[in-house]
Amino acid sequence: MTMFNYTRRDFLRAIGLGGAALATPGWLPAREVSPAHKPNIVLILVDDLGYGDLSSYGAKDMKTPNIDKLVASGMRFDNFYANCPVCSPTRASLLSGRYPDLVGVPGVIRTHLTNNWGYIAPQAILLPKLLSRAGYHTAIVGKWHLGLAAPNTPNERGFDHFHGFLGDMMDDYYNHRRHGINYMRLGSRKAGSINNKEIDPKGHATDLFTQWAIDYIRQRSGSGQPFFLYLAYNAPHTPIQPPDDWLQQVKNRENDISDKRAKLVALIEHLDDGIGSVITALKQSGLSNNTMVIFTSDNGGQLNVGANNGPLRAGKQDMYEGGIRVPMCALWPGKIKPGSQSNRVALTMDLFPTICEAADAAIAHKIDGRSILPTLLGKYQPAEDRFLFWVRREGGNYGGRAYYAARYGDYKLVQNSPFEPLQLFNLKDDPQEQHPLDKKHRMYRKLFTALRNHIIEAGAVPWQKYPVELNGS
């Protein structure tokens, strides 16, 4: 079965209306491995980090020694993609292993109904649920951004522990409000009981998330139970608000740097320092040798605040490479070769089955992601023969419309706004997407048809939750 040759029964099963899809590309059995021998897993997701905004990825005006050390200690990916050029959809794909529009999140989840473009599907099975079944304690520290109220809060969707921010962005890194609302929470799930309380901590959000992650690691260090920590920083998302001493440090070092660029560099360097502290806590707790660490970003850098996406075209919000290709590395002492590198094309949703395979957690339902664990472990893994899709639905000047990209092999079909035509590029010959191919090219129709079929499939999944029943009243 392929997604382009469905029977009606196949289609209904694929969207969750006909029972679990069994023999699917994402299905993984579980092996019987005792919890004591399973790795801890720390997944670090940063917010709006550009492809060229690490010194290990080519930045000349910043110092990111801690992330660079992660890259050097494991495998670096040069063709890793976020599932969307904005926040919520990528996070939905990360935690579901599915394309975001297939779990109801084609756009950004926000406070107000008139500017909210997603509602994560109730039937979507999220990563912490599978890891819990495999014996893991699960936690998210930091930015959630997949729901602001019941039933779509982290603990209700499977996490045992939540210490962080429910919302999209903070209007201020120090007071942690969005539209004047405090979305900071401390929550837990024990024996089916969920406790969730509003908190109002003091300090820079990056420092808070760093400390809360360290606290969690120390609490779990003596438990004998493997853990999954999803550490989701909101840096370097706007507002670009680094601590003053970090900003001054950058200005003193970089003589010709603009104020705009200096602020972003300082925010990223401050973030790097926090990540270093988390890795140090793993080592001090005696956990680092049995911990897999994955680092990546939710989308490309935002150009109008000074981001650097290296040689890639455009940035955040764009379907060109600068909006969706992101840094990624993974390390696992004794398993992943230090200093290794991969040109394999992979997406955020591929981390779902990768983590499950590393944790021996069974996946018995349809997903779209494909495990890259064999690649990470240095084993031969042939390139995936698959179509890849990106979607974003947005309000404002976009008028609530969606726009797309699709890729097969080296060919990529791009619509960079709902009001622009689709253009076909050969990324091998034209990596900066400057020379569109003729619409009569054989790959234009092939990608156009595949994208159409994906849109049809996603059309069965609602992305809105209305406050009242639509009963004509």
Residue 198 phi/psi, 5° resolution?
-75, 135
Q: How buried is 174 (Cβ within 10 angstroms: 0-12 exposed, 13-18 middle, 19+ buried)?
A: middle
Selected catalytic residue, list 84, 137, 145, 365: 145
Residue 145 is a catalytic residue: yes
Integer angstrom CA distances of residue 194 from 9, 34, 145, 149, 251: 37, 28, 19, 13, 46
Residue 112 is a catalytic residue: no
Selected catalytic residue, list 87, 176, 204, 237: 87
Active site residues: 87, 145
